[in-house]
Chains A and B, each alone.
Chain A
Amino acid sequence: MIKNNDKISANQVSILLFTTMVGAGILSLPADVSKEVGPNGLIAILGGGIASLFFARLILYLSSKFPTETFVEYTGKLITRPISIIISIILVFYFTIFASLDVRIFGEVLKIYLLPSTPIETIIITMLFTSAYLVRYGLEPIARMSEILFPIIVIPLVLLFLPTLTDIDLSNFLPFMRVSLVEFFKGMLVTTYSFVGFEILYLLFPYIINTDKLKRSVNSAIISTMLFYMYITFFVVGIFGYKETREQLWPFLTLIKSINFPVFFIENVEGIVMGIWTFTIFTSIYSFHYFATLALSKLLKTREHSYFVLPAVPIMYLMALIPDSIVTVYKYAGYVSQYMSVFFIAILPILLFIILKVKRLGDKDEEKT
Chain B
Amino acid sequence: MRFFDKIFGKKDDKKEDKNGIPASNSLKVNLDYIKNKLKDCDDVIYRDIWVGENQQYNLAIVFIDGLVDKDLINDHVLHSLLLDSRQADPSIEKIKRNLYEVIKKGTITGGDIKEITDLDKCILSILSGDTALLFDGSPEIVIISSKGWQMRSISPPEAETVVRGPREGFTETIRVNTALVRRWIRDPKLKIKQMQIGERTHTDVAVLYIEDIVDRNVLNKVMERLKNIKIDGIFESGYIEQLIEEDWHSPFPQVLSTERPDKVAASLLEGRVAILTDNTPFALIIPTTLATLFQSPEDYYERWMISSLLRILRFLAAIVALISPAVYIAFTAYHPGLIPTKLTLYVAATRQGMPFPAFFEAFIMEATFELLREAGVRLPVPIGQTIGIVGGLIIGQAAVQAGIVSPLMVIVVAVTAVASFAIPSYSAAIAFRMLRFIFMILAAVFGLYGIMLGFMIVLTHLVVLKSFGVPYLSPFVEIDLSDLADALIKAPIMYFKNRPEILDTPDRKKMKDLREEKIESIEDDRRDNNDKKQ
Interface on A for B, CB 8 Å cutoff?
A: 2, 4, 9, 11-12, 110, 114-115, 118, 122-123, 126-127, 130, 133-134, 137, 141, 143-145, 147-149, 265-268, 270-271, 274-275, 278-279, 282
Contact = CB atoms under 8 A, between A and B. Distances in A.
B478 interface: yes
Contacts of A268: 337-340
B456 A148 contact: no
B479 A11 contact: yes
A141 B461 CA distance: 9
Contacts of A123: 446, 449
Contact of B478 (A133, A144, A282): A144
Contact of A126 (B451, B453, B464): B453
A234 to B, nearest CB: 27
A134 B460 contact: yes
Interface in B426-456: 446-449, 451-453, 455-456
A265 B340 contact: yes
B453 to A, nearest CB: 6
A278 B446 CA distance: 13
Most chain A CB atoms below 10 A, which of B246, B455, B463, B477: B463
B457 interface: yes
Contacts of B460: 130, 133-134, 137, 141, 145
Contacts of B339: 267-268, 271
A266 B459 CA distance: 26
Contact of A271 (B246, B338, B459, B462): B338
Contacts of B455: 279
B337 A278 contact: no
Contacts of B338: 268, 270-271
B449 A110 contact: yes
A-B pairs, top 5 by smallest CB distance, nearest first, are A144-B477, A271-B338, A267-B340, A144-B463, A278-B452
B471 A144 contact: yes
B234 to A, nearest CB: 25
A11 B481 CA distance: 12
A148 B449 contact: no
Contact of A148 (B247, B337, B451, B476): B476
B335 interface: yes
A137 B460 CA distance: 9
B463 A114 contact: no
B334 A279 contact: no
A271 B448 contact: yes
Chain B interface residue bracket vs A: 20 to 34
A43 B455 CA distance: 37
Nearest to B462: A148
B323 to A, nearest CB: 11
Given A115-B334, A126-B446, A267-B341, A145 B452 contact: no
B479 A279 contact: no
B210 interface: no
B358 interface: no
Interface in B313-364: 334-335, 337-341
B459 A275 contact: no
Contact of B463 (A141, A266, A274, A282): A141
Contacts of A122: 446
B487 interface: no
A239 B340 CA distance: 24
A369 B338 CA distance: 63
B478 A147 contact: yes
25 contacts: A2-B246, A4-B466, A11-B479, A12-B478, A114-B334, A115-B446, A118-B446, A118-B449, A123-B449, A127-B453, A130-B453, A134-B460, A137-B460, A141-B463, A144-B463, A144-B473, A145-B463, A147-B478, A147-B479, A148-B476, A266-B340, A271-B339, A275-B448, A278-B452, A282-B456
Contact of A278 (B340, B341, B449, B462): B449
A134 to B, nearest CB: 4
Contacts of B449: 110, 114-115, 118, 123, 274, 278
B465 interface: yes
A147 B447 contact: no
B465 A279 contact: no
Main secondary structure of the interface of A (DSSP, over half): helix
A267 to B, nearest CB: 4
Contacts of A126: 446, 453
A206 B457 CA distance: 28
Contact of B464 (A2, A9, A270): A2
Interface of B: 246-247, 334-335, 337-341, 446-449, 451-453, 455-457, 459-460, 462-466, 471, 473, 476-479
Contacts of B462: 148
B463 A148 contact: yes
Given A126-B453, A148-B477, 15 more contacts: A2-B247, A114-B449, A118-B446, A123-B446, A130-B460, A134-B460, A134-B464, A144-B473, A144-B477, A148-B459, A148-B473, A266-B340, A271-B338, A271-B448, A274-B449
Contact of B447 (A9, A11, A114): A114
Given A134-B460, A148-B473, A115 B478 contact: no
A140 to B, nearest CB: 8
A270 B338 CA distance: 7
Contacts of B476: 147-148
B358 to A, nearest CB: 16
A275 B463 contact: no
A66 B146 CA distance: 69
A114 B337 CA distance: 10
Contacts of A266: 340
Given A267-B341, A279-B452, A114 B479 contact: no
A277 to B, nearest CB: 9
A67 to B, nearest CB: 22
Contacts of A274: 448-449
Contacts of B335: 114, 271
B452 to A, nearest CB: 4
A133 B464 CA distance: 10
A54 to B, nearest CB: 28
Contacts of A9: 478
Contacts of A127: 453
B457 A130 contact: yes
Nearest to A133: B460
Nearest to B247: A2
Contacts of B473: 144, 148
A144 B465 CA distance: 11
A127 B247 CA distance: 25
A271 B448 CA distance: 8
Contacts of B453: 126-127, 130
Contacts of B465: 2
Nearest to B342: A267
A23 to B, nearest CB: 15
A118 B334 CA distance: 10
Contacts of A149: 459
Contacts of A130: 453, 456-457, 460
Contacts of B457: 130, 133
A265 B344 CA distance: 12
B141 to A, nearest CB: 47
Contacts of B464: 2, 4, 134, 137, 141
Contacts of B447: 114-115
B441 to A, nearest CB: 13
B456 to A, nearest CB: 5
B222 to A, nearest CB: 17
Contacts of B452: 275, 278-279
Contacts of A265: 340
Contacts of A147: 476-479
A14 to B, nearest CB: 11
A139 B422 CA distance: 35
A214 to B, nearest CB: 16
A275 B451 CA distance: 9
